[in-house]
Amino acid sequence: MKKAVFPGSFDPITLGHVDVINRAISLFDELVIAIGINNSKKYKFSLEKRVAFIKETFKHVPNLTVETYTGLTTEFCKGIHADFILRGLRNPADFEFEKAIAITNRKLTGIDTVFLLTSADTSFISSSIVRDILKHHGDVSKFAPKAVVEGV
Residues annotated as catalytic (active site), given as ranges: 17, 41, 90, 127
Which residue ranges make up each domain of the chain?
Answer: 3-151
Q: For residue 152, is pLDDT > 90?
A: no
Portion of the chain with pLDDT greater than 90, in percent = 92
Q: In terms of CATH architecture, what is 3-151?
A: 3-Layer(aba) Sandwich (3.40)
Q: For residue 134, is pLDDT > 90?
A: yes
Query: pLDDT tens digits, residue range 63-101?
Result: 999 999 999 999 999 999 999 999 999 988 889 999 999
As a whole number, the mean pLDDT across the chain is 95
Residues ≥6 apart with Cβ < 8 Å to 68: 34, 35, 36, 37, 47, 51
Report pTM. 0.95
